[in-house]
Amino acid sequence: MKFVTANGATIPALGFGTFRMPGAEVLEVVPEAIRKGFRHIDTAQIYGNEAEVGQAIAASGVTRSDIFLTTKVWVDKYQRDAFVRSVDDSLKKLRTDNVDLLLLHWPNDAVPLAEQIGVLNEVKKAGKVRHIGVSNFNTTLMAEAVKLSDAKLVTNQVEYHPYLDQTAVLQAARKAGMSVTAYYAMADGKVISDPVLKAIGASHGKTAAQVVLRWLVQQDGVVTLTKTSTLSRLPENFAIFDFDLSADEMAAIHALATPGGRIVSPGGLAPVWDKAA
């Protein structure tokens, strides 16, 4: 396993995400993912599966302290009192005294960003979270959040895959000492049949999906999430640390990005995104 260091946090570069995983699926797959080597588990309040994630970690046979656990506060809980209550509720569901990383899930200007960042710092000072960060922030919001926070922010979790140029966010994160955590790495399954990715994979004896995960973690300061509901695919998803992509291969994958490559941009949540470099 490779690790990414960012503003005092040491984050396993490959995480297992639980977005759109029903509780029963979490209970079946997550313990096995941990046994196969995953040590970074990502969930969120809005996923509705924190309780099952906590149960799955307990059932895995791996000590909780050996797992890097991330959750996210949903946008309707950003006012100070609701925020604190929601974090306490998450900890109870996750069966833990603290999480390793707590993120603001999406921007929400109904509550001042200063209040959001202030309570993030408050729960960190209280020992309920070890590290704090944001998700789905553009570079302007990232810079404002960094300026408002007493504690260092360690990541911005964003959509990132070969078809979406995230150069602006990557550069801003590196300048602030932060990591970028990539979600939707498979671009809703599009990467699986991509001829460029398949050809690169064939030259390494790897799948297109493995090539994309490798491409992400091979970039400076990038963490990536992967997910599967198929137990037999867990070893494949984890087997990305035994090969390297050449500079030409990395460039060829970057070149797949298109202006319309973004997939996730929900109305009422998404900020004004940064334009591709």
Model confidence over 134-168: pLDDT tens digits? 999 999 999 999 999 999 999 999 999 999 999 99
47 an active-site residue? yes
Model confidence over 217-259: pLDDT tens digits? 999 999 999 999 999 999 999 999 999 999 999 999 999 999 9
Please determine, for residue 25, whether its predicted confidence score (pLDDT) is greater than 80: yes
Find out whether 102 and 135 touch, Cβ atoms under 8 Å.
Answer: no
Q: What is the C-alpha separation between 29 and 179, in angstroms, rounded?
A: 27
Beta bridge partners of 9: 6
- 229 DSSP 8-state letter: S
Model confidence over 40-82: pLDDT tens digits? 999 999 999 999 999 999 999 999 999 999 999 999 999 999 9
Question: Which of 47, 78, 160, 184 is labelled catalytic?
Answer: 47
pLDDT band, residue 277 (cuts 50/70/90)? low
For 124-174, give the DSSP string: HHTTSEEEEEEES--HHHHHHHHHH-SSPEEEEEEE--TTS--HHHHHHHH
Q: Is 131 annotated as a binding residue?
A: no
Q: What sign does the dihedral 194-199-204-206 (CA atoms) show?
A: positive
CATH 3.30.230.10 given to domain 3-254: no
* pLDDT number for residue 61: 95
> What are the residue ranges of helices labelled H in the chain?
23-35, 50-59, 80-94, 113-125, 139-148, 167-175, 195-204, 208-217, 234-238, 247-254
